[in-house]
Amino acid sequence: MRRILIANRGEIARRIIRTARRMGIETVAVYSDADAGAPHVREATLAVGIGPAPAAESYLKIDTIIQAAAKTGADAIHPGYGFLSENAQFAQACHDNGLIFIGPPPSAIRAMGLKDGAKKIMKQAGVPVVPGYQGEDQSLDRLERSARAIGYPILIKAVAGGGGKGMRRIDDGSEFADALIAAKREAGRAFGNDSVLLEKYLTKPRHVEVQVFADAHGNVVHLFERDCSLQRRHQKVVEEAPAPGLPEALRQAMGEAAVKAAQAIGYVGAGTVEFIVDVSEGIDRAPFYFMEMNTRLQVEHPVTEFITGYDLVEWQIRVARGEALPAAQADIGINGHAVEVRLYAEDAEGGFLPSTGRLDKLELPQRTGVRVDSGVEQGSEISIHYDPMIAKLIAHGSTRQVAIDRLIAALDETIAEGPKTNRAFLARLIGHQAFRLGDIDTGFIERHLADLKPVNDLPDRLLALAALAATTPRQAPTGTSPWEALGSWRLNLPHQQSVDFYFEGGAKRSLTLTRGEDGAVTVTGIDEELVASPAWRSAHQFEADFGGSLARATVLLDGPAMELRTAGQTFRLNLREASLDKGEAVPRDGRIKAPMPGKVLSVFVKPGQSVQVGDRLLVLEAMKMEHRLTAPAAGTIRAVHVGDGDQVADGGVLVEIEMEAG
């Protein structure tokens, strides 16, 4: 293998380029018009433009990509994840054109493509599957009888669905017929296939997936598991390896089941076998069931790389070259613990809507035990066309607590400005007591949402730290010797300064700082007077020694606005009285506008209808996610300007509400 074309973009393209380069293999990047200036394009040996920004016109064009490979003399194609990575037709097209597809055989992709078929194969192979019905007979009568036999609550899943799409829970037999008809209609529209399967509904599942690897010589190993239970609307938010609290016997059993799953379909390359672990009765004797198999390298593979010490992209390339697996099962072990978070351009504090725009500032952390995989750089545009992930931050440590602490420190240091991000939310999430205890399941984020909101009451010590940061110059004047500069610089500072912080609701705190001859500052205006020696460690890292106890924080100043981050908590402070214009949380004219460009999926209201605060108005699909817009105030619908399937522009008026007085 001399030259690999990477049929992908962003962080995964860069990730593959890194390993290829280390192995002495050249790379070819492909890029859409929107990505012409992207880092992955610069870093590859060669690059080929493949069309307009929409993925359907570029990254998903099989013929164009095959042609790009032929034109550049590539002998292999790595599909990355997403896009064409699990497209059997693409894998086949590679083979047909004499290119090595760095992935499994098309037959294995196809075998796992439909849920019912995958389940049947696994059941046959002795891999545990969720009790249910996955038969050909799709008649109401047959399905209803099966549901009764399984026992409610049950879950209807579209056989062509995936990642949570097309699922419907039914708690009671009386709802069955209506729910089935609706589920089938939805599945038919979404996937062009209205077949469903039924499963016993598990009330407290954990998502535990096992990394497997197979070569073309019949060797299959697993590289232990990842826990990806922390999700929001089927979007993974935190992934870690190994799964916290998983008993060794269960780990062994799941690893063996995953290997069996791979063997059952003649697998070759990197794959992930997703299991659902039913922890409703605790984890000690928890049953686990096969869910689906992902026939690609996954976004979260770095946590596995951290704990096993192997480069999975290197393994993929070696297996694709026909080599035997680099390690045998007995050689593969677990070293420490790794946790990954996905930094997204989204408004985590405002309903998790994606946020687009230019990354005006991007400073990603560099610290021991922390890996950062990113596809963007300062100045990059986060567009509506692709996944809005800014970076993956992955931390490793000898223990889970060490890894978590490192990741929190990394998040505290991360500076990403322009679009809104989930940075502060992620830090609160992995700093949450229940997460630290490993008390996780797929309902975690929903259940703890109230605890994951920002808090803004600072303890006195942090308020003092903020005041110190506001009054400590970043550096001594230059030109004289450091010692003289420091001495005279300190002497030239005002002896006494006051700092006022303004809080929402009109509260104000005034602190007074009195500087001593030795540079120590006495802070008053808080419950207990504090004495500190403050210093900037770098442009945004501030610290103060409070009599032997060191307080550290990332401090960002933007005019009168200060952001202070420490120990995973983010505080926003205002050094000037906020103006009364708070923006329009509730639009006074009652015009509900699209928060971003997108497609209207469904409209729930009609003119003349009355609504209460929080009533759903419509669902907008944007950036591959569904966003539910709700009534910001009670009133009567005055006008509906959009219908199902309409494309809307950012700021376009969707619905108008005649708001009730008061």
Specify whether the CB–CB gap between 327 and 311 falls below 8 A.
no
How many H-runs (helices) and E-runs (strands) does the chain carry?
17, 39
Interface with ligand MV4 includes 540 (CB under 6 A)?
no
Helix (H, G, I), strand (E, B) or coil at 652: coil
Binding to ligand MV4 (CB under 6 A) within 142-161 occurs at 155
Nearer to ligand MV4, 59 or 444 (CB): 444
Q: Is the peptide bond before 242 cis (omega within 30 degrees of 0)?
A: yes
Contact region with ligand MV4 (CB under 6 A), list: 33-41, 202-210, 494-502, 631-639: 202-210
Binding to ligand MV4 (CB under 6 A) within 554-593 occurs at none
285 is an active site residue: no
Specify whether the CB–CB gap between 147 and 197 falls below 8 A.
no
Site string for ligand MV4, 434-453 (x = CB under 6 A): --------x-----------
Interface with ligand MV4 includes 205 (CB under 6 A)?
yes
Cβ 109 to ligand MV4, closest distance in Å?
17
Instruction: Enter the DSSP assignment of 449.
Output: G
Helix (H, G, I), strand (E, B) or coil at 4: strand
Cβ 243 to ligand MV4, closest distance in Å?
13
Specify whether the CB–CB gap between 445 and 231 falls below 8 A.
yes
- Options 202, 262, 424, 592; binder of ligand MV4; rule CB under 6 A: 202
Specify whether the CB–CB gap between 566 and 405 falls below 8 A.
no
Nearer to ligand MV4, 123 or 641 (CB): 123
Cβ neighbors of 160 (< 8 A, separation 6 or more) are 113, 114, 115, 166, 187, 191, 192, 193, 195
- Options 13, 94, 99, 130; binder of ligand MV4; rule CB under 6 A: 130
Cβ 554 to ligand MV4, closest distance in Å?
32
Count, residues near ligand MV4 per rule CB under 6 A: 16
Interface with ligand MV4 includes 134 (CB under 6 A)?
no
Cβ neighbors of 98 (< 8 A, separation 6 or more) are none
- Options 38, 277, 291, 553; binder of ligand MV4; rule CB under 6 A: 291
Cβ 162 to ligand MV4, closest distance in Å?
7
Interface with ligand MV4 includes 17 (CB under 6 A)?
no
**Separation of alpha carbons 79 and 610, rounded Å:** 50
One-letter amino acid of 113: G
Cβ 143 to ligand MV4, closest distance in Å?
15
Cβ neighbors of 189 (< 8 A, separation 6 or more) are none
State the Cα angle at 661 between 660 and 662, rounded to 5°: 115
Interface with ligand MV4 includes 234 (CB under 6 A)?
yes
Closest CA to 600 of 621, 570, 576: 621
Interface with ligand MV4 includes 207 (CB under 6 A)?
yes
Nearer to ligand MV4, 291 or 345 (CB): 291
**Separation of alpha carbons 190 and 409, rounded Å:** 42
Nearer to ligand MV4, 191 or 546 (CB): 191
296, 342, 400, 406: the active-site residue? 296
Q: How far is it between the farthest Cα atoms of the chain?
A: 90
Where along the sequence are the contacts to ligand MV4 (CB under 6 A)? 130, 155, 163-164, 199-202, 205, 207, 231, 234, 276, 291-292, 442
Point out the residues that are catalytic: 296
